[in-house]
Structure 1
């Protein structure tokens, strides 16, 4: 009987003292028989490392624990962890998220049956503050992702439309094309980089992860998100500008960041009301070139 391929399950974490046990328990509870765990703690100031060690010490297979003495960005941490990994495949997990028990087995089965190089999947979003779980995608969103996989780069180059939790990728690709350490949205950047080079992405229509959303999540930091958005899209700006619809989406996204930042910087309700009106005007100027139609729609709103 052939030995199934080795998978390196990489956990990247920082100050996840309250959540790391759940992530680690999900990691050691996988039904897949042949995997290692590479754990990297990004200089946490709490008991994240100690709490993780208690759980991972119960793992019956190889695991390695790395503890940074200084703080690095997520992309650099993943690159470090990949350099310690021995698996044919890499599966990425943040210390505040967690996997279903069949996550690795489903991914290995899928990638071996299909001519693809890396995988995303369906899953859940868990809102910590509200203690609420929702689907990661609406049925419409998921159908669009699945139907447009062959055109993934074009569909995602002006805006990230996927929940990149539990990304599963051939290790050789991450060695040859490491994560860009200057970018915070490293997962979106990796998806575009690989698909732009012709590598194939797959999507498993099964719920294989839980994505924890915190009030401190990067997605709530509009300035950082704008910076990352501009850095990623700058790499493909000629491609974006060459397509009218893509360029329109790109401009609308920049307007979105502009006003979210301005709204986050004021507590005045009158100022917020004014900004929302200005946001609407700018948005419609980009969306509708016909001035008469533009003002009619604006009045309706």
Structure 2
């Protein structure tokens, strides 16, 4: 078997369903398997899996064992030559795995491959490629120096500024939302370190893999949506665990005592204070977007009528051929337009391409997965997304 896709789920039932639908399309021509491991969700995720995807291997944990242990359990049962660790709040293009497999097979001393990630509004997520979080790198991130000197290997190492988002190349660290590698290598390095419950596990694995002489890559030729924030609510518990995880990485790989440790701890605390003030400001200034018009990309009059009844607003039909015209005239009509893609008509790749093209134009986006009775999407990478049931 070529590929095993591992999806660790915790309480994101509808995003998980969307993810699996997209992954199945992307694996249609590949000898592969999907393994979903659930960390004791209480939102009917497992019932949905058993009802909608009975052919997919489902592992049900009796407790939340964390990101590291959960993925290790699943990889131990995987059969693929390659594995892909994948977040459940992602959408995969139909050719994602085909492209990455071809790239992987060309490399020597292959470590981990990551790809271009965008949020639900089509905006590039800079954590798609990162550097090792040394105290200096953490300092440039917390103080915002990386923004003043973009693409600098000195000041913008946190987000691997030496590489453009549309440039494939070598990087140190990749994000756990999408990590593609050989299963044998994963087992050789003993997978994710289970002493880390979550948050720096991907940093640790990337670092361990590269330290053994393997090369990690950021691959830009395919884009994956990551509805960032769906798998984790960013509250006080989140920040406590994040600080613990970064301290874990620092003590394990860099320095365990002395001035370096004090320096790192101080900047971690500064970062937490900065995080809370930033989040508070974002919530105070961010206005909820209420669409004044809905454009459905489909050919279904029945779906138009159903959505009009549910949304209580006019829904008009559009097609992919008019997308550039729509985007170019958007700023002239000053409407808050929500674009809904019917996945029964248009592919996930077409949807991803569209939202990248239309980013920063003021649109919001949702998708209706094929054979699913809901709309789903997210307007930014800070808040949780929205699910609208249409059954």
TM-score by length of 2: 0.54
Q: Which residue of 1 aligns with 2:117?
A: 123
Equivalent of 1:19, from 15, 18, 21?
A: 15
Q: Report which of the two has the higher share of helix.
A: 1
Deviation at 1:252, TM superposition (A): 7.0
Q: Which residue of 1 aligns with 2:37?
A: 40
Q: Which residue of 2 aligns with 1:274?
A: none
What is the root-mean-square deviation of aligned Cα atoms in Å? 3.5
Output aligned runs, 1:105-254, within 5 Å. Answer: 105-115=98-108, 116-126=110-120, 132-137=121-126, 140=151, 141=159, 144-145=162-163, 152-153=171-172, 162-177=174-189, 178-183=191-196, 184-185=198-199, 186-214=201-229, 217=232, 221-238=238-255, 250=264, 253-254=267-268
Paired residues, number: 243
| Secondary structure class of the residue paired with 2:122 | strand
Relative to structure 1, is the Cα distance of residues 227 and 251 closer, same or farther in structure 2, using a 3 angstrom cutoff? Answer: closer
Deviation at 1:259, TM superposition (A): 2.3
Deviation at 1:258, TM superposition (A): 4.6
Q: Is the 8 A contact 1:37 1:64 kept in 2?
A: yes
1:10 correspondence with 2:6 = yes
Q: Which residue of 2 aligns with 1:294?
A: none
| Secondary structure class of the residue paired with 1:214 | coil
Relative to structure 1, is the Cα distance of residues 149 and 232 closer, same or farther in structure 2, using a 3 angstrom cutoff? Answer: farther
1:90 correspondence with 2:79 = no
Equivalent of 2:66, from 73, 82, 85?
A: 73
CA distance in 1, matches of 2:180, 2:104: 9
CA distance in 2, matches of 1:52, 1:44: 12
Deviation at 1:197, TM superposition (A): 1.8
Unaligned runs of 5+ in 2: 128-149, 152-158, 282-391
CA distance in 1, matches of 2:211, 2:112: 13
CA distance in 1, matches of 2:244, 2:81: 33
